[in-house]
Structure 1
């Protein structure tokens, strides 16, 4: 290829022109002219989009005599320049990470994306040591102020890229970190002596050269200690040829910083400045303003003897060698199809979260406040400063327990702040968040003086956690921020940072980040506290738990769409967790078929028979732990009225496994009706009173003794002749009374105090209409037989509503996320959130099949998979292990836990809306088909 190039074309190979994919045909023609007429060596793409950039790349490559090197400033990934692509954390954020292997992973992934987009050279990493908090151009783009940390992370990032086919360029030589001037607008001066430059600024460049960096970018700096002529370093033969190439023995590609920056163009004519940069020793000129003029000036320089043709040829040959190294000798056009999808893979997105998670830095954690414990003792307020709407940070906090939101705009008035101060007095824990409204995390505060003062006063109060979603240098501008009992810094403000910081506070994830820079005298570089998480749910992507997003979301979305289209359900919630990692939590459809109110993840569903394993059963397991009964005890031991009945001697073990010969159910509500369908006058009244306190609906009240009549009906009911598995509601209707006989207190407060409140399961409740607006409660059946109205806010089951809404067989409501906390506790064999609720031995006993020899699959209270797989009619997915357990509910609910795979699955729906006669959900087998998708989505380990 070298032999085919004219002298001018060899000069042109050393120039990289600026290209954009967000500009019109005029720019496109301009680029084609540079390529076809002047034979430039490459292009650096700036703003645009991946599909447009790839299409233009193909067009430009087709027009070029020599394949073009395609470069990009992609310090934090393609998202730095291209829309619809991933932006990884800034380098200062990465500087907080302790595991440099993660930076190698990032380099590998950035290289994959770059090559997929047709990009061969990344002008990264930045290895400037940022030891000037007021640096306006490097700052958050630096790994920090510790030269060794900067070098190690630069090497890891570089190797990840170069090992995977992308040439990297360390910048900005010989070190742009200690300046308060932006070289885009003026020429910064670095006044340090040579000894200081050798030991600090030059250190990372030496290390990266020794590690095999392919390129180095030279900055526009005035450094008298290295060149007394005070010319910009880009034009200095002393700095480029003598220092970089000879003394440091760098033989790779030396590239200028952009030649349109004022730091180099001020006082230098176009073309001449490019000539001087090449004469100084640079191999490649980036962003030359006038390429034809630059070629002409360089040609003159050869004639004048300022540079030899041999030197030009050597640099051209080096450029061609780079092109060969990146594979341009085997050039293939970029494939446009699916480029956006293939750039934004789940693995690529997960890596961004992993990097952010690893960077989170805890600076204060008084009394081990984080992760939060004893949620039932906390009244939590979350205050976000610098925003006027609820944030992802606040919304994620609410996944763990009830949290009240407050927002404070950056210019909040005195009256607004006074009102907030009054409101916060009601809470015993405040979580504050300082947000950044800028595009980049600069070291400035935009909060008004009085808002800053409010933040300072708040931070100094006890039981306050502050999360700072800003550049760490801002900590020095926030008075008394260091007094906060808990202090977390995330370095930048985005959805990942907000969600993960909230998860850290509640123990969903751990933290071990370290400050990459010092903040005045408050915190030194390298400081940070470890916080151990993993005690509660982590909300993440499927790949983080060893599952495939495409299978999980694609197939579940399809199955739910099928159910919605068939009108098997109006809507639903689907929740999937693996190994305490929530990989899917999604709401679908509408609350009913009127298509007006969309289901939200926070909506409460009637759990129906899932109540059995969510109320009476946890109480019974806890009491079993406390040796309040044995499984050989009988019903009469706890309910004296059952003495002398046909059920007096039935052991609890038989009862809990549904083989005690109980009838399946009784339609208790029918006994309230006369033959003509009207209500019996002594049973139901239109007004409440002392004798009629149980509200069934508006203007419909049940006699206070009717629950006793239900118990009496159960006591008097005949037993089935054969002892075998027959599912029955009877015992769980009685369960609250059985439990109360052992605890000497009311059933529901006991369950609430011992389970739901400490779990943070704040939506798990009976009679939700008493606590939540109807808009958050999903309606069930249109009851034309008993209550004669659509059921909304009260339990669907007639027997449960006649027990006052509180029963052990039905009546419980919840959203999927809160119910999952209880189910995860079961899967953890009795532990969740750092608290043990039930012993592992008890949970293992209650969740195992008790009587397989009697062809009874049931555990104690829990359901189990069929003993033999029954195909489409099986009660669980084929993939569910024999150790798995759970329960289903009449309203279309399903919960299941599998200890072998660590899976928790919850499906909540209201298939009984508008009528229980709608059995399409069963016929479609939607719930178990979705369950099987979870197993299909598991990433199988290679043999």
Structure 2
């Protein structure tokens, strides 16, 4: 097993400016075989020590979707507090309009609701902040964004096409809060990570003055973007603008963790499949499996809240999954905008947690698109085809 090849690939990511800092954790046959930090948490800073280590905390961005919101929905399904084919209107009656009564929990999890991918809701919150200082990041701001999401017009018939949607998961986060009567972060800490003696996954507390992003303790946080409207380099506060406007707690983004913290959460899903986790094997299997349901658009790679390797992405195919060419079709995973990813190949008992801050100092850096498949190919070839 040539672990040095994996180290060399990660170091190449640094020298070619794919990311300023990263942690890679690889598990094979339920044993961590690689866990190492690379590069810097923050560049162009007066801090003396900014090296990434195993305690470095990353903004997970959209990994929040499977690790928090999807996990919560799966638990509520297990408790018979909702059904996958319940209409969203059952929980959010203000979500009404042409064909919107047909949108179900399944559609939102499967990214087949017909909702838009994204909207800059934060801009309206930002405008209100100028009129009412202190509005940004409050419960009122969060409710305002929910209201905007309720009013969205569908761009396609429910179940017709697959379109990845942040808005769908903003609404799923609201569903969890409505059913449980508590904020999403409270639910997460009480029912998802409570089994861990020491959790390395959490939603950071919003600073007293959300406009001053430099008043947060930045120790061990990997910095993200140098933001003009947020007046500096973001560190320890959610990068996603809509989640930030909502106070840092949302169904689509907001979770922070170390690589090991992510591994703990992924392991709960794998344990559940083996009837040793927080879900029944049947429900866990349903959520991590690519959907062949008639309500899932043909050719879509989405499971429920989780993704699977892109259809037709195997060896020799011009289409490349972010997991590379080798991961089995039964694999599941997810990506995060800040430069984070999870890929799990159950067939080969391989887990790859790759956390980086590729958006530091600018989101314009997209070199990770070509780097990530190469990294996963190398890991697979090193461990499985060795």
The TM-score with structure 1 as length reference comes to: 0.37
1:509 maps to none
How far off is 1:803 after superposition?
A: 1.2
Per-residue CA deviations over 1:780-812 (Å, capped at 9, x if unaligned) read: 10011x212211110000111111111111010
* Contact 2:56-2:220 within 8 A present in 1 as well: yes
Would you say how many aligned residue pairs link Structure 1 and Structure 2?
367
1:827 maps to 270
Secondary structure of 1:775 counterpart = coil
2:210 maps to none
1:274 maps to none
Q: What is the distance in 2 between the residues matched to 1:783 and 1:711? A: 24
Shift in alpha-carbon separation, 1:767–1:654, aligned structure 2, 3 A: same
Note if 1:933 corresponds to 2:374.
no
* Contact 2:60-2:255 within 8 A present in 1 as well: yes
Q: What is the distance in 2 between the residues matched to 1:808 and 1:757? A: 19
Per-residue CA deviations over 1:441-499 (Å, capped at 9, x if unaligned) read: xxxxxxxxxxxxxxxxxxxxxxxxxxxxxxxxxxxxxxxxxxxxxxxxxxxxxxxxxxx
How far off is 1:606 after superposition?
A: 0.2
Q: After the TM superposition, which residues 634-783 of structure 1 pair with which residues of structure 2 at under 5 Å, given as runs?
A: 634-644=87-97, 646-672=99-125, 681-683=130-132, 685=133, 688=134, 692=135, 701-702=136-137, 704-721=139-156, 723-760=160-197, 762-767=199-204, 773-783=217-227
Secondary structure of 1:758 counterpart = coil
Match for 2:307 among 846, 863, 867? 863
Which segments of 5 or more consecutive residues in structure 1 lack a partner in the other structure? Answer: 1-547, 693-700
Q: What is the distance in 2 between the residues matched to 1:879 and 1:827? A: 20
Secondary structure of 2:36 counterpart = strand
Greater fraction of residues in helix: 1
Match for 2:368 among 905, 921, 932? 921
1:893 maps to 340
How far off is 1:570 after superposition?
A: 0.5
Secondary structure of 1:641 counterpart = coil
2:241 maps to 798
How far off is 1:934 after superposition?
A: 2.3
Q: After the TM superposition, which residues 439-450 of structure 1 pair with which residues of structure 2 at under 5 Å, given as runs?
A: none
* Contact 2:173-2:252 within 8 A present in 1 as well: no
Shift in alpha-carbon separation, 1:890–1:853, aligned structure 2, 3 A: closer
Secondary structure of 1:730 counterpart = helix
How far off is 1:732 after superposition?
A: 1.3
Q: After the TM superposition, which residues 427-826 of structure 1 pair with which residues of structure 2 at under 5 Å, given as runs?
A: 548=1, 550=2, 553-594=3-44, 596-644=49-97, 646-672=99-125, 681-683=130-132, 685=133, 688=134, 692=135, 701-702=136-137, 704-721=139-156, 723-760=160-197, 762-767=199-204, 773-784=217-228, 786-826=229-269
Secondary structure of 2:194 counterpart = helix
* Contact 1:575-1:582 within 8 A present in 2 as well: yes
Q: After the TM superposition, which residues 369-388 of structure 1 pair with which residues of structure 2 at under 5 Å, given as runs?
A: none
* Contact 1:768-1:813 within 8 A present in 2 as well: no
Q: What is the distance in 2 between the residues matched to 1:756 and 1:905? A: 20
1:72 maps to none
Which structure ranks higher in relative contact order (CA pairs < 8 Å, sequence separation ≥ 6)? 2
Q: What is the distance in 2 between the residues matched to 1:563 and 1:809? A: 27
Secondary structure of 2:195 counterpart = helix
Q: What is the distance in 2 between the residues matched to 1:680 and 1:828? A: 45
Shift in alpha-carbon separation, 1:801–1:769, aligned structure 2, 3 A: closer
Q: What is the distance in 2 between the residues matched to 1:644 and 1:719? A: 9
Q: What is the distance in 2 between the residues matched to 1:819 and 1:768? A: 19
Per-residue CA deviations over 1:555-594 (Å, capped at 9, x if unaligned) read: 2222212221122210100000122201111100111233
1:848 maps to 289
Residues 791-800 or 641-650, more deviating: 641-650
2:322 maps to 875
How far off is 1:703 after superposition?
A: 5.5
The TM-score with structure 2 as length reference comes to: 0.88
* Contact 2:330-2:346 within 8 A present in 1 as well: yes
Q: What is the distance in 2 between the residues matched to 1:743 and 1:756? A: 16
Which segments of 5 or more consecutive residues in structure 2 lack a partner in the other structure? Answer: 208-215
Shift in alpha-carbon separation, 1:660–1:881, aligned structure 2, 3 A: same
